[in-house]
């Protein structure tokens, strides 16, 4: 049996690269022992900083050796710190996931600890980026192991350190995987994320899940909803160092740190889109149209263009001015669509929207006067989007101005918008902003409408929750208990994101050295003090003097003249008897800081002082208490002791004067600021009134234009109707003329028919046989018959306007037509047919030899048929009676035509 090979003589890097797994295992165990006591600066740490050694180690093919390799790598990370983790993680994470997380339980635990250590030493983002590609791996066991590792990481470090958006977006694909283990690990990860994010995570992935999957997750979420918000269990090295420093900090600061850590950004990231290519080119012209449908269509097209998650920056000034103008539109549909466009643009531009805030916000707040709920909701959503793109300080001026509006609807909706903004802001307002908001909101508490009072109480309550009792109790003074309780209810129920923190107080500047104390009477000053005094006095003299009643005269640098030497006698000084000559034992002060007034005071003291005995001094009397007989022992130091006191009092007077002037200047500035603010409010109200008047004038102008358009339309229609009526009148006139001509023609026919022999008023063309021709005069008129025929039915052969008589032979008039046949000659003589111009009178020629009658034209065809039928039937009497009836009808029609002709002539 071969003896085991001894690997102890090989270096650790050689053992790591050895072909024998036992050698590698021994190298891993030895390295782990070395790293336990090593420091980051040791040579062995620098030697193993190369990631290639660890890349092969953590992916060792031998399971036992790989487990020891992971333990050694964890020991190396503990010893090397952040630098070792950054240098090696790019080579080791892949092997740790593929080999370690899918290996034995001990190796899996070591691999999970490796990932946690890599995050603890630096940050989580690089490790998460390495893990996410494994969620799309071909092997389900690697996907499940990666999901389990992500769950452990989120549970340990929380979603504040681990960016959750990239992980949440992969969940729909995980839930659609075919392997049940992958889906189970996906559910565990989703529940862990829900512990940290709650309902805020649903918009990122919830819509991509099936209904069954949503129901299953809701069941898993139910127990989590009752749990409190989780806390970070494992800290980064940087957090550990900060915690050690913060252990001595107050508990309140720790709570504030925890509240800050709870803020998690779940806003999705989108690619910015250039929307100007989709905006209509004639947007401004269409928006200025007088038809509301054109304006709405233009805004609808703009909404379609800007309804994207992110918008590239561009010149939106003209568009925003058009939308601000649309906020004053008389049509509420146009206002609603304009508000939707503002909301989309504000959400798309985000922080870049700040410069357009002043253009649009005031117009939207003013439009809150609309009572239509759909319009106010659209405007409210647009205002919220504008606030999200700006800050509380940007909107404060416009909102506070809207809270002073005369319209209660504007005040109510503006107060609700302010309350929502306070709840959503991440930066607490300053005490100055708090005061302005509280003062305006307190005025709403006195309104008669309940909704306005509640809105004002909600604003103050939310402000109270943010600023705390320390800043808000002073603003609640003067309110009754009922209002305070109402405000307290809103404060307790409010959920805010910001918390006021007092600013750190700057350390006080180092105190200046205290001024030297004035030496007492009879004490000697140090030797060096006399040299240092003149610079101090010169510095005081260099300061600019201030005039005032309490100030001393400006000191001069020239020494005062000696009274005795100059021959001057100070006023009020007398030379007492028994004393030395004035000025013999007294020297004038040589300092330049003493004022003449002070010098006079000194002289007065000297003059009024009682004579002193030699060798005795009066305490506290200065020069007056010293013997005058010893000029050598009477230096000028006592006046110097008095002068610093005088300078100190003058300096304090200067400070008091400056302080009073600063106070007066401050009051003046405050008064001017107040006046300017009032002027601004007045001007703003005037601007608002002018804007309202302008909007009213625009509405009136639009209404007038629409009325003019309607009148023009009516005028065009009236003109069209007039033209049609004129055409109809012309046609009727032509018809009347035609009827008149017809009636005149009929009159001429009637005049011609009055001649007995001529039915048509003209020369007869009938060929009568010899001996049967009727007689007529030279006037070509028919002669009246001497007697009527036996049967009136013969009138059926007469023309229009005739009596039915005809100058026919007697043998025909005597009724021979009833049964006898007509002679051939007679039939011959009447063989000519009736012309088209005849009046319809039947002639004898129309009676044929066999007893049948015919009429050539259409007028007399009916009568001819009647006569022929009578002859053929043999019932002559009945046939002629019928012919008489037809003749009477024709006469009646002729009379009617006569009457019409007379009427036409009368006209």
pLDDT in tens, 747-768: 888 776 554 444 444 444 444 4
Whole-angstrom Cα distance, residue 265 to residue 197? Answer: 10
pLDDT in tens, 31-78: 999 998 888 888 888 888 877 889 989 999 999 999 999 999 999 999
pLDDT above 50 for 813: no
Name residues whose C-beta falls within 8 Å of residue 125's C-beta, 6 or more positions apart in sequence: 163
Q: What is the pLDDT of residue 265?
A: 59
pLDDT above 90 for 222: yes
Q: What is the pLDDT of residue 884?
A: 86
pLDDT in tens, 429-445: 999 999 999 999 999 99
Q: What is the pLDDT of residue 6?
A: 63
pLDDT in tens, 185-207: 999 999 999 999 988 888 889 98
Distances (CA, A) of 458 to 406, 413, 492: 20, 12, 11
Distances (CA, A) of 354 to 338, 361, 383: 18, 11, 13
The residues pairing with 273 across neighbouring beta strands, listed in sequence order, are: 311
Q: How confident is the model at residue 776 (pLDDT cuts 50, 70, 90)?
A: very low
Instruction: Name the helix (H) or strand (E) containing 542.
Output: helix 529-542
Q: What angle do CA 624, 626, 627 make, to 5 degrees?
A: 115
DSSP-derived secondary structure for 775-804: PB-TT-PBPPPSS--S-GGGGGGS-TTS-S
3-state secondary structure of 311: strand
Q: What is the pLDDT of residue 254?
A: 44
Q: What is the pLDDT of residue 270?
A: 67
Q: Residue with structure tokens 């401050």?
A: 666
Q: What is the pLDDT of residue 5?
A: 66
pLDDT in tens, 699-713: 889 989 999 999 999
Whole-angstrom Cα distance, residue 349 to residue 342? Answer: 11
pLDDT above 50 for 837: no
Residue 2 has phi, psi (to 5 degrees) of -75, 145
Least confident interval from 243-247, 304-308, 315-319, 530-534: 530-534
pLDDT above 80 for 866: no
CA nearest neighbour of 798 among 742, 745, 838, 747: 838
Whole-angstrom Cα distance, residue 192 to residue 194? Answer: 5
pLDDT above 60 for 853: no
First to last CA, the chain: 155
Least confident interval from 191-200, 773-782, 871-880: 773-782
Q: Which residue has the higher pLDDT, 524 or 161?
A: 161
Q: How confident is the model at residue 807 (pLDDT cuts 50, 70, 90)?
A: very low
pLDDT above 70 for 212: yes
Whole-angstrom Cα distance, residue 611 to residue 487? Answer: 81
Q: Which residue has the higher pLDDT, 528 or 342?
A: 342
Q: Which residue has the higher pLDDT, 714 or 260?
A: 714
Q: Return contacts of 654-663, CB within 8 angstroms, 24+ apart.
A: 654/543, 654/546, 654/551, 656/550, 657/546, 657/548, 657/550, 657/551, 658/546
pLDDT in tens, 386-429: 999 999 999 999 999 999 999 999 999 999 999 999 999 988 99
Q: How confident is the model at residue 261 (pLDDT cuts 50, 70, 90)?
A: very low
Query: Cα–chain-centroid distance for residue 710?
Result: 36
Q: What is the pLDDT of residue 753?
A: 58
pLDDT above 90 for 536: no
Whole-angstrom Cα distance, residue 486 to residue 493? Answer: 11
pLDDT in tens, 129-139: 999 999 999 99
Q: What is the pLDDT of residue 96?
A: 94
Q: What is the pLDDT of residue 13?
A: 83
Q: How confident is the model at residue 253 (pLDDT cuts 50, 70, 90)?
A: very low
pLDDT above 60 for 513: no
Q: How confident is the model at residue 229 (pLDDT cuts 50, 70, 90)?
A: confident
**Token pair for residue 434?**
């708090």
What's the average model confidence in pLDDT over 98-115? 93
pTM of the model: 0.45
Whole-angstrom Cα distance, residue 833 to residue 844? Answer: 10
pLDDT above 80 for 847: no
pLDDT in tens, 546-561: 444 444 444 444 444 4
Q: How confident is the model at residue 157 (pLDDT cuts 50, 70, 90)?
A: very high
Q: What is the pLDDT of residue 699?
A: 86
CA nearest neighbour of 520 among 603, 622, 618: 622
Q: How high does pLDDT run on average in the chain? A: 75
User: What is the SS3 assignment for 713-760?
Assistant: HHHHHHHHHHHHHHHHHHHHHHHHHHHHHHHHHHHHHHHHHCCCCCCC
Q: What is the pLDDT of residue 4?
A: 54
């Amino acid at each position: 049996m071969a003896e085991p090979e001894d690997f102890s003589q090989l270096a650790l890097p050689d053992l790591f690269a050895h072909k024998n797994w036992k050698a590698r295992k021994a190298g891993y165990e030895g390295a782990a022992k070395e790293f336990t006591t090593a420091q980051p600066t040791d040579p062995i740490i620098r030697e193993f900083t190369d990631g290639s050694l660890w890349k092969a180690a953590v992916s060792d093919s031998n399971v036992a050796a790989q487990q020891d390799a992971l333990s050694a790598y964890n020991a190396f990370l503990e010893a090397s710190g952040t630098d070792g983790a950054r240098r090696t993680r790019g080579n080791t994470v892949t092997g740790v996931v593929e080999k370690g997380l899918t290996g034995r339980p001990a190796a899996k635990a070591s691999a999970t600890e490796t990932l946690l250590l890599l995050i603890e030493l630096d940050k989580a983002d690089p490790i998460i980026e390495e893990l996410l590609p494994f969620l799309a791996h071909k092997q389900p066991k690697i996907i499940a192991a990666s999901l389990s590792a992500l769950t452990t990481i989120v549970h340990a470090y929380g979603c504040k350190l681990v960016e959750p958006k990239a992980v949440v977006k992969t969940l729909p694909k995980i839930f659609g995987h075919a392997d049940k283990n992958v889906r189970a690990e996906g559910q565990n990860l989703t529940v862990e994320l829900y512990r940290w994010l709650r309902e805020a995570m649903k918009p990122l992935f919830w819509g991509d899940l099936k209904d069954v999957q949503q129901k299953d997750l809701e069941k898993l979420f139910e127990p989590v909803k009752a749990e409190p918000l989780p806390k970070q269990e494992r800290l980064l090295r940087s957090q550990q160092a900060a915690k050690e420093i913060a252990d001595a900090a107050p508990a309140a600061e720790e709570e504030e740190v925890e509240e800050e850590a709870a803020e998690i950004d779940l806003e999705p990231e989108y690619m910015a889109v250039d929307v100007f290519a989709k905006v209509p080119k004639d947007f401004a012209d269409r928006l200025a149209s007088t038809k509301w449908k054109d304006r709405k269509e233009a805004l609808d097209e703009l909404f379609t263009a800007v309804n994207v998650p992110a918008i590239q920056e561009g010149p939106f000034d003209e568009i925003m001015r058009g939308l601000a103008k649309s906020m004053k539109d008389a049509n509420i549909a146009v206002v609603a669509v304009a508000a939707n466009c503002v909301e989309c643009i504000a959400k798309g531009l985000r922080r870049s929207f700040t410069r357009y805030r002043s253009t649009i916000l005031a117009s939207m707040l003013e439009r809150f006067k609309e009572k239509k709920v759909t319009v106010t909701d659209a405007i409210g959503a647009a205002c919220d989007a504008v606030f999200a793109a700006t800050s509380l300080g940007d909107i404060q001026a416009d909102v506070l101005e809207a809270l002073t509006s005369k319209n209660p609807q504007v005040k109510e909706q503006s107060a609700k918008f302010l309350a929502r903004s306070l709840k959503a802001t991440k930066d607490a307002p300053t005490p100055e902003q708090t005061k302005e908001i509280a003062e305006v909101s307190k005025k709403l508490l006195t309104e008669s409408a309940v909704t306005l009072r509640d809105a004002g109480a909600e604003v103050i309550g939310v402000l109270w929750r943010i600023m705390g009792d320390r800043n808000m109790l002073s603003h609640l003074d003067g309110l009754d208990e009922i209002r305070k309780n109402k405000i307290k209810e809103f404060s307790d129920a409010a959920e805010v994101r910001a918390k006021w923190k007092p600013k750190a107080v700057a350390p006080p500047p180092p105190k200046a050295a205290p001024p030297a104390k004035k030496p007492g009477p009879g004490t000697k000053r140090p030797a060096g003090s006399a040299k240092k005094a003149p610079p101090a006095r010169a510095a005081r003299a260099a300061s600019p003097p201030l005039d005032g009643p309490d100030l001393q005269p400006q000191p001069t640098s020239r020494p005062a003249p000696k009274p005795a030497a100059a021959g001057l006698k100070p006023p009020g000084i007398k030379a007492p008897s028994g004393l030395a000559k004035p000025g013999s034992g007294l020297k004038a002060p040589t300092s330049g800081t003493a004022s003449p007034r002070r010098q006079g005071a000194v002289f007065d003291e000297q003059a009024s002082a009682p004579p002193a005995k030699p060798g005795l001094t009066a305490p506290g009397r200065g020069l007056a208490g010293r013997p005058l007989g010893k000029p050598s022992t009477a230096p000028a130091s006592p006046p110097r002791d008095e002068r610093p006191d005088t300078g100190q009092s003058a300096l304090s007077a200067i400070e008091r004067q400056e302080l009073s002037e600063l106070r007066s200047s401050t009051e003046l500035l405050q008064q001017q600021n107040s006046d300017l603010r009032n002027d601004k409010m007045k001007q703003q109200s005037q601007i608002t009134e002018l804007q309202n008047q302008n909007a009213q004038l625009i509405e009136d102008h639009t209404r007038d234009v629409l009325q003019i358009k309607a009148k023009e339309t009516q005028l065009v229609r009236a003109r069209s109707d007039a033209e049609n009526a004129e055409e109809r009148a012309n046609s009727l006139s032509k018809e009347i003329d035609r009827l008149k001509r017809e009636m005149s023609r009929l009159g001429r026919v009637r005049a011609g028919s009055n001649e007995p022999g001529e039915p048509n008023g003209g020369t007869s063309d009938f060929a009568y046989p010899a001996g049967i021709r009727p007689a007529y005069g030279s006037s070509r008129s028919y002669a009246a018959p001497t007697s009527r025929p036996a049967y009136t039915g013969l009138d059926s052969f007469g023309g229009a306007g005739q009596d039915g008589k005809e100058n026919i032979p007697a043998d025909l008039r005597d009724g021979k037509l009833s049964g006898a046949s007509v002679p051939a000659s007679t039939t011959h003589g009447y063989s000519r047919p009736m012309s088209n111009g005849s009046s319809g009178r039947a002639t004898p020629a129309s009676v044929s030899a066999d007893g049948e009658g015919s009429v050539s034209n259409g007028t007399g065809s009916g009568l001819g048929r009647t006569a022929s039928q009578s002859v053929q039937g043999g019932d002559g009497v009945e046939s002629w009676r019928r012919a008489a009836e037809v003749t009477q009808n024709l006469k009646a029609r002729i009379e009617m035509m006569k009457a019409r002709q007379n009427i036409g002539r009368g006209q």
